[in-house]
């Protein structure tokens, strides 16, 4: 069986790594790794591949950044000749980025089987580009591998045939559990002078609703400045959003640290030792659940409800008062004692193995 695996942006790398490893251990599965180049920071992409021990991609489409329409179209144009030349039995896509839907569409139009890993997740908010990508990819896929029970239920509700749906666990958690010990060797806390045991907060922001709205961004940054008066706040900033944060760097004695994007191991250690994480990222909601770190999600919805039901995640939206009140609650000893994460079913580090076994059968 010949499978093309597609990676395109930073969130994909942590999901592809355990799949590549599992497939290499299973006789009868031949893999071709295609990197679309959707993530335009080549240095960061290469760092992730080294840290996660992902083999060098056989093919790099080098598409780069652009608008959603242009990027999706360019990926499709570049991926079609690859599919025609390689003649795979299936294409495997992960997550919900533009590379996911673009390569999925090319595959099904050429009558190649499509496999979607991390299927069925729904925020029920179609203003999110990722939600559109998720819905469309699931609709055209032949096999759907779900990370949590809500994904299975959503697909059933949408009329997907039962034989296509498989609950296998979370491949991104496979990567976290494999690298948790290795991340402890990171020097990131030394580099940020946070190695003295004092509590600190970690922030990530990238959703257009938070980053591209000047009023909303100003409100969030004002809250972060308030939090920074109580503990250091570390904010690794994506290059696209750095210009929008001009003027919100270190202000006198207020320890709000804006850093460049971090590698996987550095960021994993930073999260694992934080008092609280504030984010609008779906993947970080999952990672903090396993790490047992309180997570304040700066959104009104989540496509990963298991992290709220069983984990340390709390939806707080973008209202400054609500964010600050929630921070004070999770910072208190009583709240920390109350919110103890339970590991969701099948988040045990073996999701990729289950996927490989199902594909062989």
pLDDT, position 9: 86
Q: Please spell the DSSP secondary structure of 237-258, one letter per residue.
A: --HHHHGGGTT-S-BTTB-EEE
- Count of domains in the chain? 2
Say if residue 99 is in the same domain as residue 199: no
Question: Is 176 within a domain?
Answer: no
- In the chain, where does DSSP find H-type helix? 10-24, 42-51, 68-86, 98-109, 129-140, 149-157, 171-183, 188-191, 208-211, 214-228, 239-242, 264-272, 282-291, 306-309, 320-331, 333-338, 351-360
pLDDT, position 341: 66
Question: Is 174 within a domain?
Answer: no
Which residues constitute the domain of residue 90? 2-169+346-360
User: pLDDT tens digits for the chain (361 residues)?
Assistant: 999 999 998 889 999 999 999 999 988 999 999 999 887 666 677 788 899 999 999 999 989 888 899 999 999 999 999 999 999 999 999 999 999 999 999 999 999 999 999 999 999 999 999 999 999 999 999 999 999 999 999 999 999 999 999 999 999 999 999 999 999 999 999 999 999 999 999 999 988 888 888 888 889 988 999 999 999 999 998 766 776 776 554 444 455 788 988 999 999 999 999 999 999 999 999 999 999 999 999 999 999 999 999 989 999 999 999 999 999 998 886 455 455 668 999 999 999 999 999 999 8
Question: Is 232 within a domain?
Answer: yes
DSSP-derived letter for residue 289 is: H
Say if residue 56 is in the same domain as residue 10: yes
pLDDT, position 126: 94
Question: Is 262 within a domain?
Answer: yes
Report the alpha-carbon angle 199-200-201, nearest 5. Answer: 140
Question: Is 240 within a domain?
Answer: yes
Say if residue 327 is in the same domain as residue 351: no
Residue 28 neighbours by CB distance under 10 Å: 9
Say if residue 8 is in the same domain as residue 55: yes
Say if residue 39 is in the same domain as residue 159: yes
Say if residue 153 is in the same domain as residue 227: no
Say if residue 65 is in the same domain as residue 155: yes
What distance lies between CA 112 and its chain's CA centroid? 26
pLDDT, position 331: 86
Say if residue 291 is in the same domain as residue 355: no
**Is there a contact between 115 and 101 (Cβ–Cβ < 8 Å)?**
no
Question: Is 325 within a domain?
Answer: yes
Active site residues: 206
Question: Is 295 within a domain?
Answer: yes
Say if residue 270 is in the same domain as residue 165: no
Question: Is 175 within a domain?
Answer: no
pLDDT, position 43: 66
Say if residue 319 is in the same domain as residue 354: no
SS (H, E, C) 140-168: HCCEEEECCHHHHHHHHHCCCCHHHEEEC
Q: What is the pTM of this model?
A: 0.94
Residue 336 neighbours by CB distance under 10 Å: 16
Say if residue 162 is in the same domain as residue 251: no
Say if residue 147 is in the same domain as residue 26: yes
SS (H, E, C) 198-235: CCCEEEECCCHHHHCCHHHHHHHHHHHHHHHCCCCEEE
Q: At 48, which CATH number?
A: 3.40.50.2000
CA torsion 297-298-304-307 (nearest 10°) is 10
């Amino acid at each position: 069986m010949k499978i093309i695996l597609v990676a395109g942006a930073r969130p994909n790398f942590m999901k592809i790594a355990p799949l590549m490893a599992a497939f290499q251990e299973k006789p009868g599965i031949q893999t071709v790794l295609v990197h679309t180049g959707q993530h335009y920071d080549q240095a960061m992409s290469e760092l992730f591949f080294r840290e996660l021990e992902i083999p060098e991609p056989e093919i790099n489409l080098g598409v780069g950044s652009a608008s959603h329409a242009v990027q999706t179209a360019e990926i499709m144009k570049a991926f079609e000749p690859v599919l025609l030349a390689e003649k795979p039995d299936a294409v495997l896509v992960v997550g919900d980025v533009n590379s996911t839907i673009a390569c999925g569409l090319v595959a099904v139009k050429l009558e190649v089987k499509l496999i979607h890993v991390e299927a069925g997740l729904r925020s029920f908010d179609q203003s999110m580009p990722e939600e559109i990508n998720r819905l469309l990819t699931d609709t055209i896929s032949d096999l759907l591998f779900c990370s949590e029970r809500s994904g299975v239920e959503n697909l059933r509700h949408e009329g997907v045939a039962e034989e296509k749906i498989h609950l296998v666990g979370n491949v991104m958690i496979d990567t976290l559990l494999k690298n948790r010990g290795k991340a402890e060797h990171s020097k990131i806390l030394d580099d940020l002078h946070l190695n003295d045991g004092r509590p600190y907060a970690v922030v990530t922001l990238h959703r257009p609703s938070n980053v591209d709205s000047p009023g909303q961004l100003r409100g969030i940054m004002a809250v972060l400045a308030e939090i920074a008066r109580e503990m250091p706040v570390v904010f690794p900033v994506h290059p696209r959003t750095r210009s929008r944060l001009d003027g919100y760097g270190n202000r006198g004695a207020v320890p709000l640290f804006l850093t460049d994007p971090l590698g996987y191991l550095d960021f994993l250690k930073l999260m694992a030792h934080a008092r609280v994480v504030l984010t609008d990222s779906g993947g970080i909601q999952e990672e903090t659940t396993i790490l047992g770190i309180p997570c304040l999600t700066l959104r009104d919805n989540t496509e990963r409800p298991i992290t709220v039901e069983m984990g340390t995640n709390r939806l707080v939206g973008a209202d400054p008062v609500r964010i600050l009140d929630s921070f004070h609650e999770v910072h208190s000893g009583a709240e920390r004692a109350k919110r103890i994460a339970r590991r969701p079913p099948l988040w045990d580090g073996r999701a990729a193995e289950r996927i490989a076994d199902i594909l062989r059968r």
